[in-house]
Structure 1
């Protein structure tokens, strides 16, 4: 709270280190959210398998 008036300067000072500090966690979040990239044919085969198993 006592540095609120300097928030933009603080953010600006941290930007050069942003990628270094947060690259790994962003990568983990991306992988958790979207998973591994898959081909259309793999996705199609999984959908067909699910339909046929019901």
Structure 2
């Protein structure tokens, strides 16, 4: 088994810098998978725990 601390080749830090630049340019987005009303927050949590979400879960 191989573990990495992220310092060996710098790729992880380079990727973080790219994501940061995309966020600043407002070009980074995540799709909304599903929206739940506040009364269904428990269902939102169960949905998240199932791990089959393809975007953000929004409660509001």
Q: RCO higher in 1 or 2 (8 Å CA, sep ≥ 6)? A: 2
Larger Rg over CA atoms: 1
Specify if TM > 0.5.
Answer: no
More strand by share: 2
**TM-score, normalization by structure 1:** 0.29
More helix by share: 1
